[in-house]
Amino acid sequence: MHLKPPVPFHELDNDSGWEQVPGGAPGVEQKMLSGALDEDRKIGVRTRLIRFQPGTIAPHIFLHDYWEEVYLISGELVNGCDAEGAGGTHYAAPSYACRPPGTEHGPFTSAEGCVFFEIQYYVGGLDGS
């Protein structure tokens, strides 16, 4: 059984194909690369790019029941700020995080904007499923 169908090597257009992250803060966009994550059935894996437009604040704490790996490709990201974007810890590219299920993260902001590569997945037996 394959987790995702194969995707051949191809060039990406970094200017098109972006969409608002469903339920996300204004200015937080995604570009889906492959896969799908079914949060109701707790299966799947998705790979995507996430882009914060300059000045974006994602004012909420995130908590989910799947694994998440994030590689900051460009720009800077602040984790743990308040709802107005003050405080928190600044990370500049390149930076990496691996978040097991149940790991609180955020709120986030990015004064200059940023792009990160993200993989989210369920693993039977390791994530409570």
In a domain, 68, yes or no: yes
Boundaries of domain holding 119: 47-129
Within a domain: 16: no
Q: Is residue 82 part of a domain?
A: yes
pLDDT (0 to 100) of residue 49: 98
Residue 3 confidence (pLDDT): 73
Q: Residue for token digits 């995507």? A: 48
* 57 in a structural domain: yes
Instruction: Tell me the pTM.
Output: 0.90
Per-residue model confidence as pLDDT tens digits over 52-92: 999 999 999 999 999 999 999 999 999 999 999 999 999 99
Burial zone of 64 (CB within 10 Å; 0-12 exposed, 13-18 middle, 19+ buried) = middle
Residue 23 lies in a domain: no
pLDDT, residue 4, reads 82
Tell me if 114 sits within 8 A of 76, measured CB to CB: yes
CATH code where residue 105 lies: 2.60.120.10
pLDDT in tens, 26-60: 999 999 999 999 999 999 999 999 999 999 999 99
Please indicate, yes or no, if residue 94 is contained in any of the structural domains. yes
Domain count, the chain: 1
Mean of per-residue pLDDT scores for the chain:
93
